[in-house]
Amino acid sequence: MSLTGRVALITGGSRGIGAATVHLFRQAGARVVFNYRTAVRQAEALVAECGGPQHCLAIHQPLSTPEDGQALVAAAVAAFGRLDCAILNHGIWPSHDAPISEMSSEQWRTTMGTNLDSVFGVIRAAVAQMKTQQSQPSQARGHIVLVSSTAGQRGEAFHADYAATKGALISLTKSLSSELIGNGIYCNCVAPGWVATEATVDVLSDPATSKKLLSLIPLGRPAHVEEIAAPILFLCTPFAGFISGEIFNVNGGAVLVG
């Protein structure tokens, strides 16, 4: 599972799934760049835990437009000279219920900007960089992993904005795989279900809500962040050398797609 000599960009890397992914990629030997928006202390602590800025670099870069994504890739390449893995993990999930008849245009645009427009910007710049790089015959030229959600597969009532963006990432994965695999650039998607993170603690700590949500998961619990990060890492290793365009479901059996 070695990624020695490789450089990975992990968006939304300061907390939750992103931070767990940063840890695993560093353990695999990759140099890692991740962005953060407001979690300064968590970002600084994570860099220190992962060997300091010569091995792991945190960049303050909000992501809401294609240009934001472009800037983040440019900063990653400027820091470490190349880019081999792009993990699109960032995103927002407005926690309040918003019926479609009442959802504001501002909420819709904000969710689309963060969850989709900036993803496009990162991928556009990452692919352009990967195409310029030489690779060994046995190595992929690059890996892209998008983080979707079960909401992108079965929808989510009162969160149509979020579900729409996550469904779009699934279609984007398939499109990019068909387009890029001939260039040696792999594109796959990890689709988690409920995960125990800072973002979900309020929902999962409510007894009534938690009971309802967990009843939909055959395994009977939410995922740990490492259980999402590990499949992301796997998809960037030679062990996944014949996998492209796959929607990797990591949801405790909640959504079965064949």
Q: Give catalytic residue positions.
A: 162
- Quickly list H helices, the chain: 16-27, 40-49, 66-80, 105-112, 118-132, 151-154, 160-180, 201-204, 207-214, 225-234
| Contact call for residues 24 and 231 (beta carbons, < 8 A) | no
Is residue 195 a contact partner of residue 16, using CB atoms and an 8 Å limit? yes
Collapsed DSSP state (helix, strand, coil) of residue 189: strand
CA angle centred on 179, ends 178 and 182, rounded to 5°: 90
Task: At 2, list the tokens.
Answer: 């070695």
